[in-house]
Structure 1
Amino acid sequence: MAKQRITAQAGHFYAVGVGPGDPELVTLQAARLIESADVIVAPQSKNSQTSLALAAVEDFLHDQEIIVLRYPMTRENNKTRQRWGELATQVAELCQQGKAVVQVTLGDPLIYATSSYLLAALGALLPPEKLHLTPGISAFQMVASRFGQPLTLQEDRLQIMAATDLGAVEQALSGCETLVLFKAATALPELLELLKRHDLLARASLVCAGGQGEGERVVADLSRWEPQELGYMTTMIIHLGQRGWQEL
């Protein structure tokens, strides 16, 4: 018996991962939800002129209402919670009007995603049966595919973290076999120096704006790094080794 295709239902909210920015990496389920939605909510950084998530799903847009939400990028917790509460109220009102609302988010909705904040705020405004998640391909999966190196084998440990805390990054180097760093451009000179001290530059690679056309930057071996401008969406993978069988 064939599985029934999922479509966006009236009065429901869907946090939909649309992959790292390449339209070819949008899943079938994500495409169907976007196509059947009444309202598409797209996050946009206050420092950006466009919504990358919205650009990734242009092929699936027709006559849906489009709402671009500028989201906060601040560590002021009270201010951030207040803003997400305001956005959640706006979305909840649309659902209560009988609209099917889809928020598109880059990558996966639960990995460093704006949708996580919105979902938390919506939990107090809508019943849980009306809140849905659709996973998406995360940036680190796309980056790994560029180089063809396995992220894990056997009991290898994979750790994912932001590159913003260099002390935590250095500690992580001894706690896993593969380390994934998001936001790697934020402190790249210091990060490169850290890897150099640990003799890990040749084991590290990065991709900036993967799948986003001419803006993509790929560096397979950071021991051959040549300074260049990198954007916020830069992901680094450091292959630290594999666990030996004697350690298991």
Structure 2
Amino acid sequence: MDSQRTAELYGVGLGPGDPGLVTLAAMSVLETAEIIIAPSSHPESMGRAEYIVHTLLPDREVIRIPMQMASGSEGIDRRLHAVRETIRELRPRLTSAAMSAFVTLGDPLLYSTFSLVVEAVVCEQLPIAVRVIPGVPAFLALASLVTTNLLDNDERLHLVPATGDPGHLEHLLEDRESVLVIYKLSSNFAMLRAMIAQAGRQKGAMVGLELGTDRMQVLTLSEAPDKVPYFATIIVPVQRRSA
């Protein structure tokens, strides 16, 4: 690489899972990057982000960072440790490559492991410029599948994880002029469904499971099974007055 040029590391959002929703900007980076890194739940298994890359560019090598998706601060610490180890090992390649890419589902700036990569780059003091290519978030993909007009006029949107404070979720459900989008449903779905029904917000609420994959399901809140996968999204719509 030209000694006058700073190495670049791109966080590349690949959308919810459908390779057809990968943007032209993301494809340009994937085709150009000398190194592509992807998260994986196990060193020997291909994660969903890597699968999208493989579908679009089957001959590209992808370096995996194993990340256990355990919850809480201990889980975050484990993931950060795994990321820092990988970044440390790749330091010579990352600093000499003109462009590298870390791929992630959805958008790199929304509940993404890319934040850990950025933290590792800073901690390891790598002379790398960090860039971001946005991706289609899961909740917008879900809204498009049911052609829901999410927001209008002065309406608001709240995007929260199901792992947060239940009291905070109850408070947000009281705001009927807001859309509530909930991620990370797997362990709390039954409780969430009951809370939404108790608040009288179940009308029009939709659940998207495994969006962008061949296992995708789009269901009403009442149709959804009691147990849902980690990659699930709820949209609780605004309660608009009838014309």
Give the TM-score of the pair, scaled to structure 1.
Answer: 0.83
**Residue 97 of structure 2 aligns to which amino acid in structure 1?**
G
| Aligned sequence identity (%) | 29
Alignment of 1:45-194 (within 5 A): 45-46=41-42, 49-61=45-57, 63-74=59-70, 75=72, 76=74, 78-98=77-97, 100-124=99-123, 125-127=125-127, 130-165=129-164, 166-175=166-175, 177-194=178-195
**Residue 152 of structure 1 aligns to which amino acid in structure 2?**
L
Greater than 6 Å deviation, 4+ residue runs:
none
> Per-residue displacement from partner, 1:70-92 (whole Å, max 9, x unpaired)?
12434215444433322332343
Q: Distance in 2 between matches of 1:148 and 1:113?
A: 26
The unaligned stretches of length 5 or more in structure 2 are: none
Q: Distance in 1 between matches of 2:240 and 2:90?
A: 46
> Per-residue displacement from partner, 1:24-79 (whole Å, max 9, x unpaired)?
00000101110111221111124994310111222432543321111243421544
Corresponding position of 1:4:
none
Corresponding position of 2:198:
197
> Per-residue displacement from partner, 1:119-141 (whole Å, max 9, x unpaired)?
1221242346x211100001011
> Alpha carbons of 1:30 and 1:230: their partners in 2 closer, same or farther (altered >3 Å)?
same
Q: Distance in 1 between matches of 2:34 and 2:100?
A: 6
**Is contact 1:109–1:135 with CA below 8 Å preserved after alignment?**
yes
Corresponding position of 2:230:
232
Q: How many residues align?
A: 231
Q: Distance in 1 between matches of 2:8 and 2:224?
A: 48
**Is contact 1:39–1:64 with CA below 8 Å preserved after alignment?**
no
Which one of the candidate residues 28, 31, 36 is aligned to 2:27? Answer: 31
RMSD between superposed Cα atoms in Å: 2.4
The unaligned stretches of length 5 or more in structure 1 are: 1-8, 244-248
**Is contact 1:41–1:103 with CA below 8 Å preserved after alignment?**
yes
> Alpha carbons of 1:61 and 1:10: their partners in 2 closer, same or farther (altered >3 Å)?
farther
Moved more, 108-117 or 184-193: 184-193
Q: Distance in 2 between matches of 1:211 and 1:72?
A: 22
> Alpha carbons of 1:142 and 1:11: their partners in 2 closer, same or farther (altered >3 Å)?
same
> Alpha carbons of 1:148 and 1:216: their partners in 2 closer, same or farther (altered >3 Å)?
same
Moved more, 113-122 or 64-73: 64-73
